[in-house]
Amino acid sequence: MPDTISMTFTPADIDESASIPLYQQIYDLLRAKIMDGTMSLNDRLPAEQDLTQALGVSRITVKRAMNELAVAGLVRRQRGIGTVVIYDVAAPTVKGSFETMIDGLTRMGVETEVQLLDCTVGTASPAISEALDLKGGKSVQRIVRLRRLDGEPFSYLVTYIPYDIAEGYDDAQLATESLIKLLEQAGHAPVEAEQTITATAAVPAVAANLGVAPGSPLLRIHRIMKDASGRPVQDITAHYRADRFEYHMRLARNNAGQRDWTTE
């Protein structure tokens, strides 16, 4: 059983006169100690009753703060064991970039480990047919993969590729190679992409693979890649752990009179 971390809390750690709810203040207090390494991976947090007495708040307030930590994917709450830290502050974070997206994705394929979860061939749905500019009834390859960095899962990816392109590589290579490299091998190297980035909550199946609690915040990126002829060659939806992936973009204005910002 994990050891309970020894820490001292007092009513002075929260401000009952502040506009921020007490449960949020307690959440912020505990989260800060997890993020700075004071409470590390596999440490057990103080019991709800102990925090209630130390901070001078209600049990319900502490319970809600703990539940919020669990939803954020920072702790796991288990009857008979308590609340245990599952976030590893020492684990690396993957950084993506708008400026060098294709090169960055290629490097990601080299620097991370991939696990093939599923690979099937079937008729494209109307939405996928439209995205990949396919005529009705055309087949696509559906690939589900999980990526890890230093053994830690950080992305869950569902990809659709027109089957006539997928025939250009061996299915076994999907368990080891970057999809960009395989598209190049098939003669359809991606040269441009259109993508949408949103925030979403982890559904149970995705959460289980990424090692987070259902409902945890994830970064969702939907991307359609095209080859030099302009043909869509890949439709991919990627879910990234918010604590393991960040997107970086640098903006600039060429002159003071320019109204729009552009990426450098």
What is the token pair recorded at 263? 């990426």
Asked if pLDDT for residue 98 goes beyond 50, the answer is no
**Residue 100 pLDDT:** 44
The proportion of the chain whose per-residue pLDDT surpasses 90, expressed as a percent, equals 32
**Which domains does the chain show, CATH number per domain?**
11-85 (1.10.10.10), 94-248 (3.40.1410.10)
Asked if pLDDT for residue 10 goes beyond 70, the answer is yes
pLDDT tier at 151, thresholds 50, 70, 90: confident
Q: What is the mean pLDDT of the chain?
A: 82
Q: Which of 122, 206, 215 is nearest to 157 (CA)?
A: 206
pTM of the model: 0.63
What is the token pair recorded at 33? 């100690």
The proportion of the chain whose per-residue pLDDT surpasses 70, expressed as a percent, equals 82
| Alpha-carbon dihedral angle through residues 242, 243, 247, 251, given to the nearest 10 degrees | 110
The rounded distance, in Å, linking the Cα atoms of 37 and 44 is 13
Those residues whose C-beta lies under 8 Å from the C-beta of residue 25, and which sit 6 or more positions away, are: 13, 14, 15, 18
* Residues 227-238: tens digit of each pLDDT: 999 999 999 999
Q: Are 123 and 139 spatial neighbours (Cβ–Cβ below 8 Å)?
A: yes
Asked if pLDDT for residue 192 goes beyond 70, the answer is yes
Could you tell me the sign of the dihedral formed by the alpha carbons of 200, 206, 208, 211, in that order? negative
Asked if pLDDT for residue 93 goes beyond 50, the answer is yes
Those residues whose C-beta lies under 8 Å from the C-beta of residue 87, and which sit 6 or more positions away, are: 34, 35, 41, 73, 74, 75, 243
pLDDT tier at 110, thresholds 50, 70, 90: very low
Q: Residue 82 phi/psi, 5° resolution?
A: 115, -155
Among 5-9, 40-44, 186-190, which stretch is predicted with the lowest mean pLDDT? 5-9
